Structures are given as structure tokens and as C-alpha cells.
Amino acid sequence: MEQLLNEIQVAFLDGEINKLLATIPEDCPSGDFSVHYNQGEELFLRLAEDFVVPRFPIHHNPKIPTPEASYIIPLRDLVRRLAARLPAAFQGLSYYFDPNLIQSPSFFRLYKVEDQVYLYILSLDLTYRPFESRLLEAGTNDETPVYKTKHLYISSEIVPLESVTWRDGRATAFTIRQLISNTWIGETGRGYKERGIWQDNDLSKFFSRLVLPEGIKVYPFYPLFCKYKTICASVPFLRPDYRRRVLPLLHRFIRQLGPEMGRIQDSLKTGDFSEKMPLFTELRGKIPQPWKEVFRGHVSRPYLNEREQKEFSLEVPDR
């Protein structure tokens, strides 16, 4: 069956990985890591010590819903080692195989707030980055290299769902609740310099600044952002308590701001986001103060890495 654009399919659940993850206790430690963004706004964890990424096959027929042994066996070992070092990151999660994204193994958990279901997704980006890794074994046309690194690139987000498809007691697909119409605006430039214009970044700024305390500097962290044509919540700190802290805010935000999506999109069609926009000022005045306290104390600090490229560390008070 062809995958829909607003649907995340669960092609395969690995019993061995999920049995391992199920043994992680609720009171497990977070592990030794710090949270960063690179200059491309990509989120990564910097671990205290290197970890080894094993060899994986590069190609997989997306029509085949189950992974090959050459993929799942080394992945089981990698997850076992990462879960031992970052237990809170994987606590309560289940692994699922996406045949379209074999270099980004993903883990999920479902949450329910009132009558609304939410999906938390943690995805690992295992792409070899030569400037941040030490090559141990070269790759081939069919297999990825073996390398060592302290940087674990991830995406970590909570997504509102329209529905969950179940079969034989397990989830097989998640249909995303789309709250935003097409974010495509148009094009600019001519010839080879032509580029598309999208509203996603401006919408993310609009949503995030509504709930952030005034004057706080957290770029490139967007706590609420536009993806999948909906409003998602970012979870850069991989702890169950952080997920539970952000989830109620996302739920209340969608309930209150969902009906305003048309007005918000229309206001951004004529120019870039600004906190001086009349609609932003109007809506920010309606945001309850407790919503703005969720991210108080979050601080982003820019610095230059060893290659003189800008990166950002994101800090949060332990509460």
C-alpha cells in the first residue's frame, strides 16, 4: 500500500529490541551528554565518550516491510549500547522499522491527553560525518562505513494524531492531525537562482515566540514548530519527564490556537515574521502566563567548534 503524506507507517516491530527497551526502569538516569545544534540547526547530543556505529546495508527495497539480518543484527547491538549509556532517552519507547529510512532508526510512544492522541518519535541519524567521526572501516557501494564518534544526531518531537490504525493488537500506522494548510507560498528568482518559498520557518518562529518568555535567547531551538502541516513540540532533552512537561503545553496550544491557523498563515504571506505583527501581539496577549514558564531557564549559547564553525549548546534547569 502506498504511504500517505500525512501517515507514518509501522512496517515492522523488532521483538528483541523492544524486549530490551522494556527492561529500562522509570527511575533510570539520563546519562552523560549535552545538547547542541550545529550551524545548520541540526540537533545532536555530545556524549562523554565515543561510541561505535557498525556497518549497515545502504539499500533496502521499500516494498519489503521487514529488515534483513545484516541490518537488524548490528542495530540491536547499537541500541543495546546506546540504551546502556542513555537509558532515559529510550525509556518507555518501542522501535519500529521504516523501510524508507533505514539510516534513521526510529522509536515511538503514544500519549493521550483528554480525547487527543499524540505520538512521540525519536529518530537517530546514523549518517557518517567525516569531520565529526573517526573512520574505522571504509564503506562500499552497498554498506556504510564503521566509525567512531561522540556526536549522536537526532530528531525528537511530539506530533498530534488524527487516528491510529491497529492490527492484531499492535499499531500499524499513525495518521497525523493536519492543522495547517499547504505552507508553499511560491518562488523567487529566475533560472538557476530560482528557489521555493515556504512558511514553515516563519510559522515555527510565530508559534515558539508565543510561548517563550520575553527576551529569552534559545535559537536555534524552536519549542513549537511547523512540520507535517501541523504543530509539533520539540523534545531536545531526552528524558520522560521532559516529554511529560511539554505534552500538556502542546495540547493546550493546539486547542486554543488551532482555530487561528488561517489568520496566522494569511498574516505571514505578506512578509517575514516579526514580533511587532499586530496578530502576533494580539495572540500573545491571550497566552496564559503558566505556558511561558515551561521554557523559562532554557538558554542557548553560541560557540565555535574545533573547525571554527558556529554551534550552539542548549541548557535547561533541572526541575
Q: What is the pLDDT of residue 192?
A: 47
Q: What is the pLDDT of residue 183?
A: 64
Coil/strand/helix, residue 31: coil
The grid cell for 143 is 554498506
Q: What is the pLDDT of residue 269?
A: 83
Q: What is the pLDDT of residues 19-57, one digit of tens each?
A: 999 999 999 999 999 999 999 999 999 999 999 999 999
Q: What residues pair up with 188 in beta bridges, in sequence order?
A: 195
Please state, in angstroms and rounded to a whole number, the distance separating the CA atoms of residues 30 and 295. Answer: 19
Q: What is the pLDDT of residue 193?
A: 44
Please state, in angstroms and rounded to a whole number, the distance separating the CA atoms of residues 311 and 56. Answer: 29
Q: What is the pLDDT of residue 316?
A: 87
> What burial class does residue 116 get, using C-beta atoms within 10 Å of its C-beta: 0-12 exposed, 13-18 middle, 19+ buried?
middle
Q: What is the pLDDT of residue 186?
A: 42
Read off the amino acid at residue 235.
V
Alpha helices in 179-300 (DSSP H): 200-211, 240-257, 261-268, 278-284, 289-293
Q: What is the pLDDT of residue 5?
A: 67
Q: What is the pLDDT of residues 101-116, one digit of tens each?
A: 889 999 999 999 999 9
Q: What residues pair up with 125 in beta bridges, in sequence order?
A: 153
User: Of 178, 224, 217, whose CA–CA distance to 201 is shortest?
Assistant: 224
Q: What is the pLDDT of residue 100?
A: 87
Q: What is the pLDDT of residue 274?
A: 92
Read off the amino acid at residue 200.
D
Residues in the chain predicted with pLDDT less than 50, given as ranges, are 1-3, 184-198, 319
Please state, in angstroms and rounded to a whole number, the distance separating the CA atoms of residues 164 and 245. Answer: 23
Contacts of 100 (CB under 8 A, 6+ apart): 3, 62
CA 125 to chain centre: 11
Please state, in angstroms and rounded to a whole number, the distance separating the CA atoms of residues 279 and 263. Answer: 8
Cα Rg of the chain, angstroms? 20
